[in-house]
């Protein structure tokens, strides 16, 4: 499936949370996806190590053969621990402290990560282990996403397959939430978001709206990575806006 096919599969709308697939009026994911810990992936792989290894090699070859201008920044490694280049997003955020990252830097990182995930989803493949150690940054904050042998192919079951993609999108949302707020998102027993941005900091409203879209689990039509990558905020946020302290009234 081409990049254009992935994008054109969905209609656009003024409200990102209302974008729905063309020609579809029902969804097997109409019920909320609630786990004891929503920050962890579900065990819905159902593939042997040999199958996942073969898929990993196939993806790496397809990526190497790509000549597209929008070729995503991906590092293929059997294990994330094998990657030695750059600084992981986790290490960067630990040094940065509990403060928001500049908006244009956060947008650039998520733009890169979402492009990498879209490369997988267009091929009906789930990343399966995206977290803060799956992204590495260079000195200029250019991001690359590590794709490991944890990837697995979406099976014929639409519910299980779509759930894997939704979890990938959810984990991109976890990255963006921490970048924008300076803190990790925490959830209650029913999957509700417990943490809130600091009232003392100016937080991007459009960026947080995109986070809410990625965190949504009870939509009749679940969030997709194409809607994230080509959201208005990511397309427009490429300059350094002023950031200053606001005192709550």
Of the pLDDT bands very low, low, confident and very high (cuts 50, 70, 90), residue 203 is confident
Vertex 109 angle, CA 68 and 218, to 5°:
95
User: In this structure, are residues 163 and 29 in contact, taking their beta carbons and an 8 Å threshold?
Assistant: yes
Mean pLDDT of the chain: 81
- Picking from 235, 230, 181, the residue whose alpha carbon sits closest to that of residue 12 is 230
- Reply yes or no on whether the pLDDT at 84 is more than 60: yes
- Reply yes or no on whether the pLDDT at 70 is more than 80: no
Q: What is the pLDDT of residue 214?
A: 95
- Reply yes or no on whether the pLDDT at 157 is more than 80: no
Residue with tokens 């947008």: 107
Its domain, for residue 134, covers 49-237
What number is the average pLDDT over the span 229-249? 70
Of the pLDDT bands very low, low, confident and very high (cuts 50, 70, 90), residue 123 is very high
3-state secondary structure at position 152: strand
Of the pLDDT bands very low, low, confident and very high (cuts 50, 70, 90), residue 201 is confident
- Reply yes or no on whether the pLDDT at 44 is more than 50: yes
pTM of this structure? 0.80
Vertex 247 angle, CA 244 and 248, to 5°:
130
Structural domain includes residue 205: yes
- Cα 122 to Cα 133: distance, rounded to the nearest angstrom: 23
What number is the average pLDDT over the span 76-86? 86
Cα 42 to Cα 74, 115, 123, 140: the distances in Å are: 24, 23, 20, 34
Burial 23-59 (b: 16+ CB within 10 A, else e): eeeebebeeebeeeebeebeebbeeeeeebeebbeeb
Overall domain count for the chain: 1
- Reply yes or no on whether the pLDDT at 81 is more than 90: no
Structural domain includes residue 247: no
Q: What is the pLDDT of residue 42?
A: 76
- Cα 34 to Cα 38: distance, rounded to the nearest angstrom: 7
User: In this structure, are residues 111 and 234 in contact, taking their beta carbons and an 8 Å threshold?
Assistant: yes
Q: What is the pLDDT of residue 45?
A: 62
Q: What is the pLDDT of residue 1?
A: 52
Structural domain includes residue 229: yes
- Cα 218 to Cα 34: distance, rounded to the nearest angstrom: 9
Q: What is the pLDDT of residue 199?
A: 75
Of the pLDDT bands very low, low, confident and very high (cuts 50, 70, 90), residue 167 is very high
- Cα 176 to Cα 211: distance, rounded to the nearest angstrom: 7
What number is the average pLDDT over the span 170-195? 91
Structural domain includes residue 40: no
Q: What is the pLDDT of residue 58?
A: 96
**Which CATH number is 208's domain given?**
1.10.510.10
Structural domain includes residue 191: yes
What number is the average pLDDT over the span 206-214? 94
Residue with tokens 């402290």: 97
- Reply yes or no on whether the pLDDT at 30 is more than 90: no
Structural domain includes residue 225: yes
Residue 225 or 49, more confident: 225
User: In this structure, are residues 147 and 58 in contact, taking their beta carbons and an 8 Å threshold?
Assistant: no
Structural domain includes residue 210: yes
Q: Are strands 152-153 and 74-76 parallel, antiparallel or unpaired?
A: unpaired
Residue with tokens 């250019």: 142
- Cα 120 to Cα 228: distance, rounded to the nearest angstrom: 14
């Amino acid at each position: 499936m081409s990049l254009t096919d992935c994008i054109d599969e969905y209609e656009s709308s003024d409200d990102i949370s209302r974008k729905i697939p063309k020609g579809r009026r029902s969804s097997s994911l109409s019920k909320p996806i609630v786990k004891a810990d929503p920050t962890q992936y579900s065990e819905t792989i159902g593939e042997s190590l040999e199958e996942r290894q073969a898929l990993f090699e196939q993806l790496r070859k397809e990526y190497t053969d790509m000549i597209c201008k929008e070729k995503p920044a991906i590092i293929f490694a059997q294990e994330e621990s094998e990657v030695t280049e750059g600084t992981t997003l986790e290490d960067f955020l630990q040094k940065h402290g509990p403060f928001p990252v500049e908006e244009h830097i956060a947008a650039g990182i998520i733009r890169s990560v979402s492009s990498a995930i879209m490369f997988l989803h267009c091929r009906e493949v789930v990343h399966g282990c995206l977290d803060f150690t799956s992204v590495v940054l260079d000195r200029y904050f250019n991001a690359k996403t590590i794709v490991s042998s944890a990837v697995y192919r979406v099976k014929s079951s639409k519910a299980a397959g779509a759930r894997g993609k939704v979890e990938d999108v959810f984990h991109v949302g976890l990255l963006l939430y921490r970048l924008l707020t300076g803190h990790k998102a925490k959830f209650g027993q029913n999957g509700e978001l417990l943490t809130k941005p600091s009232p003392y900091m100016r937080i991007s409203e459009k960026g947080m709206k995109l986070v809410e879209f990625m965190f949504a689990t009870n939509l009749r039509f679940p969030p997709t990575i194409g809607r994230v990558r080509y959201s208005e905020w990511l397309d427009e946020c490429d300059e350094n806006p002023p950031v200053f302290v606001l005192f709550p009234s």
